[in-house]
Amino acid sequence: MVETPSASSPTPPNREAHTATVNFIDDPDHLPADANIPDNYVSYTLKHQKSLPPVTWENFLNELNWLHVGILGLSPLLGLVGAFFTPLKWQTALWSVVYYYMTGLGITAGYHRLWAHRSYNASRPLQYILALWGAGAVEGSIRWWARGHRAHHRYTDTDLDPYNAHKGLLWSHIGWMIVKPRRKPGVADVSDLSKNEIVRWQHRHYLKLVFIMGVVFPTVVAGFGWGDWKGGYVYAGLLRLVFVHHSTFCVNSLAHWLGETPFDDKHTPRDHMFTALVTIGEGYHNFHHQFPMDYRNAIKWYQYDPTKWFIWACQQIGLASHLKSFPENEVRKGQLTMQLKRLRETQELLSWPSDNSHLHVISWESYQEQAKTRPLICVAGFIHDVADFLDEHPGGRHLLTKNIGRDATTAFFGGVYDHSNAAHNLLAMKRVGILHGGSPHGLEDKMIPPSQRLRVARYNEMGTSGYSSAALSDGEGLLG
């Protein structure tokens, strides 16, 4: 680790200019937690930080986080037992769904997009509402949750990621919470949250808020509202909590396992409509990991993202502002990159004409001589062997045979028929030589078949055209 210079440290050259820059960017009285991590932090930490031993059947009970086991295990157990003895009223069912969305938005719109990613600004009333709703989801305080989530984004798919998807679907969904972490998550700065008085208030009173918002509030609403105290506790309290838990847990698990990678496939996050449906809009996760400070997860109007709509609605009534979204130009670049990559993968599966540099160059006289014993036709400076296509030609065999030993360029390019892309591509596969002197003037652009005009080139191919002229090698080349 790089040590922080002390007050007695010698002053480096240009210290005043450097200090002025730091003062302009950051608070000079505050040093972020990740200010001095080395460039090789991940590899260095994994090498030097000792992890806990693997979990085995012998040490399994000792390695469980019993607080989390209790919360995640007792709530569904008590809820299911309670539901067996408690009839479900329609008012309570409706209230349970409404409160599911309220506490879910406390996580998605509050913990996640507001505090972990700072994707918009929220007024004090909205911050208090989201802090209370988030407490009702019983997933830890804002500060604790956001610290882990920032580490997840910074160290995605490494052992410094608290819910590393490479360790399996079950681990990323719930295992990382019920088993003691094998190592500390990577460093992530949450100093901005430490300065937020509402975040500090929620953190300080978290246990009380969990009890009030997780149990008391949903019970009281159902009790005073329509006299269903027991149903409010069982359905809007316990079972609603189970759904909220596993809904948001799916952002760590299902969203890294199911779906497509339309923006980047370097890491595991994926986009899928089903994941969006079960996570209150957090299912377009590939986009989110590429553009984490965007207040949206879904960028198309028809994609399901109620969290985005909630934030937008709050902006309309003055509770939210400064909604951040990445420039459309940059988003489309990401999409294009992956589209080109997939096109390249398809391209690699196809057969293409041989490199022109491998074709022999012959004179017109030699071409005519060889065409007496072989069905050769010249089009746009290339010699083509059409032996296997004589009986397949849609216009009839005679249109090919009459051009053997001749230049059929005019006929091919509209004189008889303006041939299709498919014809151009197929003809290029039949090249066996290059006419000395090349293509007639004005037809240089027609030498390259349509499929190869749009060919996706590798970076190391950019310096060459792929259509370099070959050395003159007249004579036996075509027949050899």
Q: How far apart are alpha carbons 462 and 477 in whole angstroms?
A: 29
Write down the pLDDT at residue 13.
43
The candidate with the shortest Cα–Cα distance to 172, out of 254, 104, 276, is 254
Q: Which residue has the tokens 């208030």?
A: 201
CATH H-level superfamily of 356-451: Cytochrome b5-like heme/steroid binding domain (3.10.120.10)
Write down the pLDDT at residue 473.
43
Q: Which residue has the tokens 């693997």?
A: 54
Long-range contacts of 8-17 (CB under 8 A, 24+ apart): none
The candidate with the shortest Cα–Cα distance to 397, out of 388, 406, 405, is 388
pLDDT in tens, 336-350: 999 999 998 998 898
Tokens read off for 212: 């009030």
The residue type at 440: P
Tokens read off for 332: 């489309």
Other residues' Cβ atoms within 10 Å of the Cβ of residue 377: 26
- What is residue 357's DSSP assignment? G
Write down the pLDDT at residue 461.
64
pLDDT in tens, 287-310: 999 999 999 999 999 999 999 999
Write down the pLDDT at residue 463.
55
Q: Domains of the chain: which residue ranges? A: 57-338, 356-451
Contact 287, 271 (CB under 8 A): yes
| Residue 463: C-alpha distances to residues 30, 130, 438 (Å) | 49, 55, 22
| Residue ranges in the chain modelled with pLDDT below 70 | 1-29, 438-447, 459-480
The candidate with the shortest Cα–Cα distance to 209, out of 144, 131, 143, 145, is 131
Q: Which residue has the tokens 């994707």?
A: 119
Long-range contacts of 392-400 (CB under 8 A, 24+ apart): 400/375
Contact 289, 297 (CB under 8 A): no
Burial degree of 9 (CB within 10 A; 0-12, 13-18, 19+): exposed
